[in-house]
Chains A and B, each alone.
Chain A
């Protein structure tokens, strides 16, 4: 009797989480899978259309290709850069800088603010035609009058910079991991004459490689899901349609899903797009995990 109680107790404690998961995640998940095979305009009952939504992505939707291009560029450029910056800063902060906890807190702030509406509006001000960047360039004698946000060539790079700026969260995790590296290993290497760079590349990085993998995967998934920044910066929240910047230059995949689902009221197609994103993320994560077997060192 007692053992039954022991066995059921964990599940009782899990009930709130399970309920939350089922109602807020699992049911909507399966509903969206069903909607992806239908024409659903939100106002009338969905009508089954087989795979036509999935076929439409590759045949008639010109924005789909652009959205993929912008998103892949963003993910595969901004995430490595962001991790590099956060790793370097973690290594610097690990050296026992005076006022370390203040720096740690200060560097973490952008991570908290990065995805917010206020920062997105600030970004518009900095990179706009009469923005801070152009002002600085003009003071330096460079006659720059382009709008970095509106120009299709530069728009996505302003968001890459925004992501790099949010290095705080991975940095804190790196810092915690670096502190876990056994001091005797580093000291032994030092005695053997290893330089500081060698100690980092041969001891610290291999020892924290599981954390690098963790950060990489978490940041890649979060980068694929980026929405608020592109929504606000590309003119959402007030425009007459027109999401996604000039010539789709800021049409992130999630923005395309939103635009199809809510602006154009094609929730069936939007669901299919969402499931295709899940597939892409699964493949990317799978490839990283497969590669990790070679590069990640577990004690």
Chain B
């Protein structure tokens, strides 16, 4: 009897396995359906075969998707023979979806990328160089900020056209600071990291418990790169002349030690506190809740923070190295064209429309940061730009002049940046010294670089 029971249970478990197996492919296509009604609609069109289907992928959410849909509608109105099919998983699933799409040769025609992925994908030859399209003005880059354009370069070619740029900025709750009887330094003034640390100590002395002068920086993968660029030697910031990881042990150890020193001085909170507050949405984070006064984040987030708080928010430049060097790094969200696409010309036309068409850009309204086209910037300003967006635009234009030249991150950057952040946790928890962490990162980075070079 009992054996029969076991047999029955095992049989049902097996059936469940089969059912799960059958269900898997349906789940796998879910990201494509994330685009909502818009994504479902082109399916029917594609099968009807009377329109050219252009597939476009971006990382989305329900509000952002509406902007893309509206721009796509404008494009389709101008191109009645084109149907745009969309894929817009959230950021967390987006890169998994793209990696598997490229691995299986089914990537969208136009795919959105971010700075960190440029080297990763361009080095593998899965994207089309856009130089010819720029030369024949299919993609028109007249009156663009060329520093912004350069963020789409990899090697000798241009692979991506920016949809919006941002960079790390230092946000300051000026109202709270003034309440403490302190004044903020002028916006165009450079201060060094050491001066910044001293200033934070003065702020912290006046703060109540459970409120901190600054948010800890150890998990900030964009800021660490600013630190590395400030300390880079001879313009090498990723790989040196020998093909080895360029940042020195001293630079990396310095980064970890700086974060440790801030925590020990009490100007930043414990690792657990930081982790807890980091997990919250921007609108509910420590900056808008008066838990910290100084906060490093990307400049394009100004509008979100300011609209979520009553206090006045100011933006300042990221501190310069103690050697006085700037290290700002422009972070781009860009469109590229897949090498596997059989509609590259149409894809280029679409990109040009997206970034240069004034109606499209009015809809997009700096969703991903400051646009590369100065004409678009002026048009948006004339149309009454949100003051926070104006501040972000001015900030980006200012730092792009001071920043060292853009160097595309090499493949493997994600692996290394993740290690930099997780080693920071070990250092913060006292499990590793800054020096050991630096040596560890260099070892891992050289392994990753060697793996990618093979």
* B97-121 interface with A by 8 A CB criterion: 99-100, 102-103, 120-121
Which residues of chain B come closer than 8 Å to A210, judged between CB atoms? Answer: 2-3, 6
User: Which B residues are CB-close (under 8 A) to A17?
Assistant: 18
Instruction: Count chain B residues whose beta carbon lies closer than 8 angstroms to a beta carbon of A.
Output: 58
Decide if A259 touches B418 in the complex (CB within 8 Å): yes
Asked if A151 is at the interface of the complex by the 8 Å CB criterion, the answer is yes
Once A62-B440, A237-B92 are accepted as A-B contacts, the answer to whether A20 and B9 lie under 8 Å apart by CB is no
The answer to whether A21 has its CB under 8 Å from any CB of chain B is yes
Docked-complex contact A242 and B21, CB < 8 angstroms: no
Q: Cβ of A63 and Cβ of B422 under 8 Å apart?
A: yes
In the assembled complex, the Cα of A8 lies from the Cα of B221 at a distance in Å of 61
What residue in chain A is nearest B447 (Cβ atoms)? A60
- Contacting A at CB under 8 A, from B409-454, are 411-412, 414-415, 417-418, 421-422, 425-426, 429, 431, 440, 443-444, 447-448, 451-452, 454
Q: Is the CB of A24 within 8 A of B417?
A: no
| Chain B residues whose CB sits within 8 angstroms of the CB of A147 once the complex forms | 272-273, 275-276
Complex Cα gap A60–B419 (Å)? 12
8 nearest A-B residue pairs (beta carbon):
A237-B92, A264-B415, A43-B124, A241-B418, A150-B275, A147-B276, A42-B103, A150-B272
A43, B103: Cβ atoms under 8 Å?
yes
Known A-B contacts A177-B5, A211-B5; A43 and B13 likewise in contact (beta carbons under 8 Å) = no
Report B-chain residues with C-beta under 8 Å of the C-beta of A259. 418
Determine whether A122 belongs to the interface, using a CB cutoff of 8 Å to chain B. Answer: no
Asked if residues B451 and A247 are in contact (CB atoms below 8 Å), the reply is no
Within 8 A of B (CB), among A225-250: 235-242, 244-248
A165 to B92, CA, bound (A): 27
The distance in angstroms between the C-alpha atoms of A107 and B131, with both chains bound, is 63
**B24 contacts A by Cβ under 8 Å:** yes
User: Are B92 and A246 in contact, with the CB atoms below 8 A?
Assistant: no
Tell me whether B2 and A247 are in contact (CB under 8 A).
no
Contact of B5 among A21, A180, A237, A242 (CB under 8 A): A180
A65 at the B interface (CB under 8 A): no
Q: How far is the CA of A131 from the CA of B365 in the complex (A)?
A: 37
Closest-CB distance, B29 to chain A (whole angstroms): 14
Task: Tell me the bound Cα distance from A152 to B426 in angstroms.
Answer: 11
Given the known A-B contacts A180-B2, A246-B425, are A265 and B276 also in contact in the complex, defined by CB atoms under 8 Å?
no
- Report whether A43 and B1 are in contact in the complex, using a CB–CB cutoff of 8 Å: no
CA distance A79 to B221 in the complex (A): 37
Point out the residues of chain A lying under 8 angstroms from B429, CB to CB: 152, 246-247
Chain A contact residues, CB within 8 Å of chain B: 17, 20-21, 24-25, 39, 41-44, 47, 60, 62-63, 124, 128-129, 145-147, 149-152, 173, 176-177, 180, 207, 210-211, 214, 218, 235-242, 244-248, 259, 262-266, 298-299
Which A residues are CB-close (under 8 A) to B13? 218
Besides A150-B279, A263-B415, A264-B418, 4 more A-B contacts (Cβ < 8 Å) are: A150-B275, A152-B429, A238-B91, A247-B422
Closest to B432 in A: A62
In the complex, are the beta carbons of A247 and B426 less than 8 A apart?
yes
A298-B124 contact in complex given A129-B276, A146-B272, A241-B421, C-beta closer than 8 Å: no
Interface residues of B in 380-433 (CB under 8 A from A): 411-412, 414-415, 417-418, 421-422, 425-426, 429, 431
Is the Cβ of B121 less than 8 Å from the Cβ of A43? yes
Q: B residues near A, CB below 8 A? A: 1-3, 5-6, 9-10, 13, 18, 21-22, 24-25, 90-93, 95-96, 99-100, 102-103, 120-121, 124-126, 210, 219, 221, 271-273, 275-276, 278-279, 411-412, 414-415, 417-418, 421-422, 425-426, 429, 431, 440, 443-444, 447-448, 451-452, 454
* Residues of chain B contacted by A41 (CB below 8 angstroms): 124, 411, 451-452
Task: Kindly identify which residue among B21, B100, B278, B415 contacts A25, using a CB–CB cutoff of 8 Å.
Answer: B21
10 contacts between A and B (CB under 8 A): A20-B22, A60-B443, A128-B276, A150-B276, A150-B279, A152-B272, A211-B6, A246-B272, A262-B96, A265-B415
Complex Cα spacing A128 to B276, Å? 7
B3–A173 CB distance below 8 A: no
Residues of A within 8 A of B425 (CB): 246-248
Cβ-defined contact, B279 with A124, below 8 A: yes
User: Please, how many angstroms separate the alpha-carbon atoms of A263 and B120 in the complex?
Assistant: 12
Contact in complex: B92, A241 (CB < 8 Å): no
B9 engages A266 (CB within 8 Å) = no
Task: Name A245's closest neighbour in chain B (CB-CB).
Answer: B275
Name the contact of A263 in the complex, choosing from B91, B121, B414 (C-beta under 8 A): B414
User: Least Cβ distance of A172 to chain B in Å?
Assistant: 10
Say whether A44 contacts B93, CB under 8 Å: no
Contact status B5-A43, CB under 8 Å: no
Q: Are B90 and A237 in contact (CB under 8 A)?
A: yes
Chain A residue contacts of B90, Cβ below 8 A: 237-238
Query: Would you call B452 and A42 a contact (CB within 8 A)?
Result: no
Distance in angstroms from B395 CB to nearest chain A CB is 21
